[in-house]
Amino acid sequence: MIEQPDSVSLSRQCQLLGLSRAALYYRPVTVSDYELELMVLIDRQYLRTPFYGSRRMTPWLQMQAIWLIANEC
């Protein structure tokens, strides 16, 4: 879609497409397997207890992380 400039500059191409120039150079950050597993744990617990705030979720998550580490050994 966006090509190297021959006749139209990159900034003009971005302007025509309605993109910022920063979006042109954006590279997504990869998520590690560990982080993905933590996100799944948080999502599951949030669906069970949506009234948990960060103060309740933190100790629960710490206990789950200990369980995860113990099961990996």
Predicted confidence at residue 47, as pLDDT, reads 95
Dump pLDDT digits (tens) for 8-64. Answer: 888 888 899 998 888 888 888 898 888 888 889 889 999 999 998 888 988 888 887
pLDDT value at position 49?
Answer: 93
**Model confidence at 3, in pLDDT bands (50, 70, 90)?**
low
Confidence (pLDDT) at 48: 95
Domain locations in the chain?
1-28, 33-72
DSSP 12-55: HHHHHHT--HHHHH--PPP--HHHHHHHHHHHHHHHH-TT--HH
- What pLDDT is stored for residue 45 in this prediction? 92
